[in-house]
C-alpha cells in the first residue's frame, strides 16, 4: 500500500485526492496547502491529516508525494521530494522557465526514474487507444499529425498574466501529445498566434488562438491548433495520417441522444469541462504511477518528457513572436 | 448518513457495495450472503461486517437494505425488511410469480413508498436524457416506441432454466422502459419468439429471440426486440417517434477512435458488458434511492412499477406461446 | 438500343422518362397519359412522341413498356404488353387485388420472365450494399430483421381512400424488402395498426402507424415499422442481426455539414422526399431492366415477387383488423 | 439556350460535356481537342460537332466556351475567347505563372465579368451549405479555418514534373476555399512541406505532404493540410471555428451501411475519386455559369479569384522553400 502526501488542495488536488483514496493500492495520508483550511477540508473528506509541506516531505512514513501546487513551486518541491527519497507525481508544467526545469532534472538526476509528470492526456482512453492502434501498425508509418485543442472559454485575464502564455500553459499538453504519438523530437517549430477571442488577452501580451507546425527530421509534420474559446464544449481531437490509413480520436459527448426535428438532427455536445472529459484519464494516470512505484519500474512520463514539451513551448513562443521558423537541436 | 445492509454479495451486490460505500450520504454497515466467504470478502473490502440476513434485518441501527439475492427470495426479504421499518432497494424482478409479487405489494402496502425496484436503466444518462427531452416536448406527442435490447451472448442453459424465461428475465427491463417512456400501461400485448441462437435454449422451453408489440388505449404502439446474441457487444437502444420529431438513444462505445483504411472506416464497438454500459446508471440509481430515503420522498421506481413490468412479461410469455394478442386490464 | 414506350406521364413517369432518355442503351420513343397534355409535354422534353396507350402497345417498333399509370390499370396493361411481346417494367403494386394479380401472373405465364416489378428500393445503393454484405457472409445467418419506413407527411385523405390502405400502398415496399433480404417467405404475419397521425385517416378506415411482425419457418423474425409522419424527413432504414454481426443501412442526408453551438451539435436531416432519396435507385433499376432485356436474362424483380409482397400486405391488413396471427402457406 | 463550345475532350472535358448537354438552358455545339479522335468521340456522344479550337472561337453562333485544355494554354484561350465576345468558363488554375495570369486579367479587363474560373468546390453541396450557414451568422465571426485535403494516391511523377508543384496544382483549390470562406486575403503565408509519400516526388523537386498557415489582417488564421496519399479515399473536409460555434463539412461516403462484428463497427469509406465526390459540384457550377451568362450577371468565381489563389500558391511555394513567413500585399 502506497502512502501518499498531497501537496496542494486546489481544484486539481481534489481530483487527485479522490483517485489516491479510491485506489486499492494507495492511501492518502496527508494534505498540505498554503490555505490551511483548504488542506483541512480536503484531508477530512478522505480521512487524512492536514500538515505543512515540510512535514509531509520529511515524514519517512510517506512513500510518494503528488505535487499539485502552483507552477512556480514545482521545481523546488520535486527536488526536495526526490532528496527525501519519495516518488513524485508532479502536475504539468515542470516550470515556466526551461532553464530552471533543466536544473531540476540535473538536481534529481539519479532519482529521475521515480519522478512522473502529469501529462494526463496520454492516459485518456481515446488517445491511448489511438496510440495502441498506431503501435499495432494499423496505419503504417505516421506522416501527418493534427491536434485540435480548444477550451470552452478563456480563463480570467489575471490568470493569463501569470500563466507563461498560451504555448506554455495550454499548448504544452499538445506538445507532449505530439512527442507521445510521433515518438521523436521535431527539428523545427513555426507558429502563428493572434488575440481575437478577447482583446484583453492580447493587451496582456498573450495570444488566444494559435497554430503551430512541427517538422521532424524524416520529413513528418505535425500541426497543432489551439483556441481559448469553443462555446460548444471542450474540444479535444487528434488525427494522424499514415502510409496505410488515418486514425482519429474524438470528443466524449454528454450523452448519445439524437433528436431529429424540422430544425435538424441534434446530438449531444462534447463534455464542457476538462475534468469531465479527463476524469478517467486522471484515474488511469494515478494507477500507472502507483504501479510503477510499487513494482519498481521507472515512470512512464518522465521529467525529461516534461522538459521536452517545455522546450517546444518556448520555441513556439519565440516563433510566434518573430514569424521565423525556430530550429531545435535533437 | 444512511446506514445500509447489503443482502447478497454476488456480481451485482459487489457493484452496489462500491456505490453504497462511495456515496457521501451512505455507509455500508453489513453484508450477508448464503456463501459466508463471499460476504466476508466483500465486507472487508469496504470496512463493513459480514452478518446473517436476519441479523441485518433485525438491526435497528440499519436504515436501509439493498436486496441483491436470488430472485426467489426477493418477495420474502422485501416483506421482512419493510416489517422492520427499513427502506428497501430490491433488484429486479420482484418475483418470477406475478401472484407472489402482488401479495408482496399488499403485504407492504403502507410501507410501499419506501420500496424501490432496481430498474437501473431508467438512470442511464442516455435514456434519462431521452426522457427529459420527451418531457420538454421536443418531439410533441410520442406515438411509436422502439426498443432494441441485445445481449452479447446467451447465459448458460442452466441459468436459462431457472430464469423464468426471456420475457421475465431479460425483456422485463424493456417492459419497464416502455412503461417509463410511454407513461401509461398498454391495453394489449402480442409476441413472436424463437430459439434460433442456441437450440438448447429452445430445448429448455425458452426463446432467445423475440419481438413484442404493445398497443396503448390511445392507439400508440411500442415494439421491443430482444436477442440473446449480438457478438459485437451489448446493444441497447431506444427510439421514439413523436408528432414533431424522433428521439434516439444509442450505445456507449469503447472509445472514440476511428480508423480509416482500404478495408473501411472502423469505429469502436459498443461496450461489451452490461456492467460497463450501466455503471453510471447504478451509481445514479443509488443516489436517487439515498436522496429519497434521507429527504423523506417516495421512491422513484415503485414496487407497483416492478409488478407492472412483470405483468407485461407474463402476458408476453402467453402471447408468444399462443400466437394470440393478449388483452390487459388497465 | 432498347426502344421504350412510357405509359403514364405523372410524377413517377417523369422520373422514369429521364432515366430512359439518359441511358446509353435505351431511347424514349413514345409517351401516353390519360391527360393528353401531360403526355405531350413530357414527350417533347425528351424528343419523343405523345401517343395513346394502345398505339404504343401495338407498335412493333417498341421493345419495352414502362407502366407508370394508376394501380387499377396495371394488371390489364401488363397482360396487354406481354401479349404483344414487349418487355415490361411495371410500377408497384401489381394490383390492389391479390386475386387479380394472380390471374395476371397466370395470363402472362410464359412471358413472365420478361416482366419486372418496380420495387426500386432493392436498387438503393445502401440497401443493395447491405444485401451484398449479407451474401458475402459478413454477419453469418440472418436472424432478426428490422425495417423502419416513415414518410415525411401523410398523403391527402382522398388518396388514402383509393390507396388500398397502408399495408398495400406503403408497407408493400417493406414486405418486398423483407422478401429480398430474408430470401424466404414468412409462415405467419401479425400486425398492430392505429390512426394517431391524422384522425381523418382513421375515419377513412385506414391506419397511419403500424407494426408488422413476420415469422419464418426456421424461426427467423422480421419486424416492420411504418408511420405516415416523420417531420424531419424521409426515414428509411434497415437493420439485420445475424449470428456473427449486425448490418444497418441508414438515411441519405441533405449534406454533411455539422454545426456545434451552445444549443447542441446539429447535422443534416434525411432527404425529405422519396425522389431525392431514391433517385439513384430508379436509375439503377432502369439499368437492371435494360440489361436483362437486351442481354436476354430474366428480370431481377419478378411478377411473382410483386404478388408475394401483395400477399403479405393482404395478410397484414387482416391481421391488423382481427388482432390474430395470420398463417401463410409456403 | 446557351450554345457552347468545349475546348478539351479529356477526363474533365467529358464531365463538363455531360453537364452542358444535360442542362435545360445549354447545348453542346462543338468540341475540340489536340487529339482529333478524342474530340470526335465526345462530340458524337452528345450530338455535337468536332472542330478546331479556332473554328469554335471564331464561330459567332457560339455564345460560350468551356476551356478544359492543358494549363499552359489557359491564358491564351481566355484572351482569345474574350476577344471574340464569348463567355468563358476556364478550368483551374488560370496559369502556372502568376505574371502571365495577371497579364491575362489586364488583357480581358473590360470583359472580365464574363469569365468564370472553375473552382468547382465552391459548388459542392456540403461546402456551399457550410458557407450559407456562416453567412447566416450561425457561428458568429469566423476565427480559425482548417482545411483537410488528401488525395487517395499520388499522380504519376511525370505529371508532378509539369504540374507546377503541389501548391499550384493541388492546394490551389484549398487557397480558393480559404478565400471563399474567409472573405478576405491573408497578409502572410507560412508553409512546411516534405516528400514522404514517394521519394520520386521529392527527387522531382516537389513535396507530397504540406501544411500552410495563413494569417489575416484582423488576426484570423487558416491552416491547410495536404497529402498526396490517403489510401481510404478522397478526403476533403473543412472546419471553421467561430466566436459562437464550429462548422464542419465532411466527406461523402460510398454508402450508409454500417457493419458491426467482433472486429469492430465498419462504415463506408469516403468516395475514392474526385469525380464521384464532386460530380454534383460540377453540375452546380455549370448551372451557375449558365445562369450568369443568360441572365447578364457577372460570374461568381472571377478571373481575379483565380489569380488570388495563384498568388497564394506562389507565396506558399516560396515559404516552404525558405522556411520564412512570406508577407502579401492586400
- The CATH number of the domain holding residue C236 is 3.30.360.10
Strand, helix or coil for residue A209: strand
Q: How do strand B2-7 and strand B64-67 relate by DSSP bridges?
A: parallel
Q: How confident is the model at residue B58 (pLDDT cuts 50, 70, 90)?
A: very high
Q: How confident is the model at residue C330 (pLDDT cuts 50, 70, 90)?
A: low
Q: How confident is the model at residue A110 (pLDDT cuts 50, 70, 90)?
A: confident
Inter-helix orientation angle A274-294/A11-22, to 10°? 50
Note whether residue C199 is domain-resident.
Answer: yes
Chain D residues with beta carbon closer than 8 angstroms to that of C126: 255-257
CA distance linking residue A87 with residue A73, whole number of Å: 17
The residue among C173, A194, C107 whose CA lies nearest residue D223 is A194
Domain boundary among C68, C90, C119: C119
pLDDT at position D272, please?
A: 83
* Residue A10 grid coordinates: 486546489
Residues C132 and C274 in one domain: yes
Residues C99 and C160 in one domain: no
Domain boundary among B101, B120, B139: B120
Note whether residue C304 is domain-resident.
Answer: no
In this complex, the residue of C129, C258, C259 whose CB is nearest that of residue D257 is: C129
Residues C142 and C233 in one domain: yes
Beta-bridged to residue C261, according to DSSP, are: C264
In a 10 Å sphere around its CB, with 0-12 CB exposed, 13-18 middle and 19+ buried, how is residue C92 labelled? buried
Over range C225-236, report the average pLDDT: 97
Note whether residue D94 is domain-resident.
Answer: yes
**CB distance B14 to B282 below 8 Å:** no
**CB distance D241 to D142 below 8 Å:** yes
Nearest chain A residue to D150 by CA: give it: A241
Q: What is the pLDDT along chain D (330 residues), one digit of tens a residue?
A: 899 999 999 999 999 998 998 788 999 999 999 999 999 999 988 889 999 999 999 999 999 999 999 999 999 999 999 999 999 999 999 999 999 999 999 999 888 889 999 999 999 999 999 999 999 999 999 999 999 999 999 999 999 999 999 999 999 999 999 999 999 999 999 999 999 999 999 999 999 999 999 999 999 999 999 999 999 999 999 999 999 999 999 999 999 999 999 999 999 999 888 888 888 999 999 999 999 999 999 899 999 999 999 999 999 999 999 999 999 975
Residues C219 and C76 in one domain: no
**CB distance A31 to A37 below 8 Å:** no
**Chains contacting A (3+ CB pairs below 8 angstroms):** B, C, D
Q: Residue A330 pLDDT > 70, yes or no? A: no
For residue B174, the surrounding DSSP H or E stretch is: helix B172-182
Residues B182 and B323 in one domain: yes
Considering only CB atoms, which residues of chain C are within 8 Å of chain B? 143-144, 146, 148, 150, 188, 190, 192, 194-197, 209-211, 213, 215, 218-221, 223, 225, 227, 229-232, 235, 241, 243-246, 323-325
Overall number of domains in chain A: 2
CB contact under 8 Å between B256 and A249, yes or no, is yes
Average pLDDT, chain C: 95
Length of chain B: 330
Taking phi over 0 as left and psi of -120 to 50 as alpha, with beta for the rest, B302 belongs to beta
CB contact under 8 Å between D256 and C260, yes or no, is no
pLDDT at position A112, please?
A: 86
pLDDT in tens, C290-324: 999 999 998 999 999 999 999 999 999 999 999 99
CB contact under 8 Å between A213 and D190, yes or no, is yes
Chain D residues with beta carbon closer than 8 angstroms to that of C259: 133, 138-139, 245-248
CB atoms within 10 A of CB A43: 22
Beta-bridged to residue D224, according to DSSP, are: D147, D212
Residues D64 and D159 in one domain: no
Residues A86 and A33 in one domain: yes
Residues C225 and C154 in one domain: yes
**CB distance A208 to A196 below 8 Å:** yes
Note whether residue B285 is domain-resident.
Answer: no
Residues A198 and A248 in one domain: yes
Chain C residues with beta carbon closer than 8 angstroms to that of A263: 266
* Residue A269 grid coordinates: 455536445
CA distance linking residue A198 with residue D54, whole number of Å: 59
Residues C34 and C132 in one domain: no
- B289: which residues sit within 8 A by CB, 6+ positions away? B64, B87, B89, B116, B299
Range of the domain at B14: 2-120
* Residue D98 grid coordinates: 502568376
Beta-bridged to residue C120, according to DSSP, are: none
Query: Any idea what DSSP says for residue A242?
Result: E
* Residue C249 grid coordinates: 443501412
Strand, helix or coil for residue A320: helix
Cα torsion at B87, B91, B93, B98 (round to 10°)? -20
Q: How far is B53 from chain D (nearest CA, A)?
A: 42
Over range B118-134, report the average pLDDT: 97
* Residue C209 grid coordinates: 402507424
In this complex, the residue of D144, D227, D232 whose CB is nearest that of residue A227 is: D144
Q: How confident is the model at residue B113 (pLDDT cuts 50, 70, 90)?
A: confident
**Chains contacting D (3+ CB pairs below 8 angstroms):** A, B, C
Chain A residues with beta carbon closer than 8 angstroms to that of D315: none
Nearest chain B residue to C139 by CA: give it: B231
Q: Compute φ and ψ for D73, nearest 5 degrees.
A: -100, -10
Residues D133 and D37 in one domain: no
Chain C residues with beta carbon closer than 8 angstroms to that of D245: 259-262
CB contact under 8 Å between B209 and C221, yes or no, is yes
Query: Any idea what DSSP says for residue D95?
Result: -
Cα torsion at A19, A24, A26, A32 (round to 10°)? 40
Chain C residues with beta carbon closer than 8 angstroms to that of B210: 221
Chain D residues with beta carbon closer than 8 angstroms to that of A211: 144, 213, 221, 223
Q: How do strand A235-242 and strand A221-227 relate by DSSP bridges?
A: unpaired
pLDDT in tens, C186-212: 999 999 999 999 999 999 999 999 999
Q: How far is D124 from chain C (nearest CA, A)?
A: 10
Note whether residue D289 is domain-resident.
Answer: no
Identify the residue among C256, C263, C276, C278 best suited for mutation to test binding to D, counting D beta carbons within 10 A and taking the highest: C256
**CB distance D302 to D117 below 8 Å:** yes
CA distance linking residue C18 with residue C169, whole number of Å: 24
In this complex, the residue of A219, A229, A232 whose CB is nearest that of residue D196 is: A219
Domain boundary among C119, C144, C175: C119
Tell whether omega for the bond before A93 is within 30 degrees of 0, i.e. cis. Answer: yes
Give the neighbor-by-neighbor strand order of the sheet with B2-7: B49-50, B26-32, B2-7, B64-67, B87-91, B115-118
The residue among D214, D219, D139, C259 whose CA lies nearest residue A198 is D219
Note whether residue D274 is domain-resident.
Answer: yes
Q: Give, in degrees to the nearest 5, the angle at Cα D308 between D306 and D310.
A: 70
CATH of the domain at B94: 3.40.50.720
Note whether residue B298 is domain-resident.
Answer: no
Tell me chain C's radius of gyration from C-alpha atoms.
20
Q: Residue B99 pLDDT > 80, yes or no? A: yes
Note whether residue C92 is domain-resident.
Answer: yes
CB contact under 8 Å between B255 and A22, yes or no, is no
Chain B residues with beta carbon closer than 8 angstroms to that of D232: 260-262, 264-265
Residues D75 and D141 in one domain: no
Over range C101-111, report the average pLDDT: 93
pLDDT in tens, C139-179: 999 999 999 999 999 999 999 999 999 999 999 999 999 99
pLDDT at position A200, please?
A: 97
pLDDT at position C187, please?
A: 97
CB atoms within 10 A of CB D40: 16
CA distance linking residue A283 with residue A19, whole number of Å: 6
Over range B311-328, report the average pLDDT: 96
Amino acid at each position: 500500500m502506497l502512502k501518499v502526501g498531497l501537496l496542494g488542495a486546489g481544484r486539481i488536488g481534489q481530483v487527485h485526492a479522490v483517485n489516491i483514496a479510491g485506489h486499492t493500492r494507495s492511501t492518502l495520508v496527508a494534505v498540505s496547502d498554503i490555505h490551511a483550511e483548504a488542506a483541512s477540508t480536503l484531508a477530512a473528506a478522505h480521512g487524512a491529516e492536514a500538515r505543512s509541506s515540510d512535514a509531509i516531505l520529511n515524514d519517512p512514513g510517506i512513500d510518494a508525494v503528488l505535487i499539485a501546487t502552483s507552477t512556480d513551486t514545482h521545481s523546488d518541491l520535486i527536488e526536495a521530494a526526490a532528496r527525501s527519497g519519495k516518488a513524485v507525481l508532479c502536475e504539468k508544467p515542470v516550470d515556466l522557465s526551461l532553464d530552471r526545469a533543466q536544473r531540476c532534472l540535473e538536481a534529481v538526476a539519479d532519482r529521475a526514474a521515480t519522478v512522473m509528470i502529469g501529462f494526463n492526456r496520454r492516459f485518456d482512453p481515446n488517445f491511448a487507444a489511438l496510440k495502441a492502434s498506431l503501435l499495432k501498425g494499423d496505419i503504417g508509418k505516421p506522416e501527418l499529425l493534427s491536434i485540435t485543442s480548444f477550451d470552452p472559454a478563456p480563463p480570467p485575464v489575471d490568470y493569463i498574466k501569470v500563466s507563461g502564455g498560451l504555448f506554455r500553459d495550454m499548448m504544452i499538453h499538445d506538445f507532449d501529445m505530439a512527442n507521445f504519438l510521433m515518438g521523436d523530437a521535431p527539428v523545427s517549430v513555426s507558429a502563428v498566434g493572434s488575440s481575437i477571442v478577447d482583446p484583453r488577452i492580447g493587451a496582456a501580451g498573450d495570444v488566444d488562438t494559435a497554430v503551430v507546425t512541427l517538422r521532424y527530421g524524416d520529413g513528418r509534420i505535425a500541426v497543432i491548433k489551439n483556441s481559448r474559446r469553443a462555446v460548444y464544449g471542450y474540444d479535444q481531437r487528434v488525427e494522424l495520417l499514415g502510409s496505410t490509413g488515418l486514425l482519429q480520436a474524438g470528443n466524449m459527448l454528454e450523452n448519445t441522444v439524437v433528436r431529429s426535428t424540422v430544425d435538424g438532427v441534434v446530438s449531444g455536445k462534447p463534455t464542457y469541462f476538462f475534468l469531465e472529459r479527463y476524469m478517467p484519464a486522471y484515474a488511469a494516470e494515478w494507477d500507472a504511477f502507483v504501479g510503477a512505484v510499487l513494482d519498481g519500474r521507472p515512470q512512464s512520463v518522465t521529467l525529461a518528457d516534461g522538459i521536452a514539451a517545455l522546450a517546444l513551448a518556448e520555441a513556439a513562443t519565440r516563433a510566434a513572436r518573430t514569424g521565423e521558423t525556430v530550429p531545435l537541436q535533437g
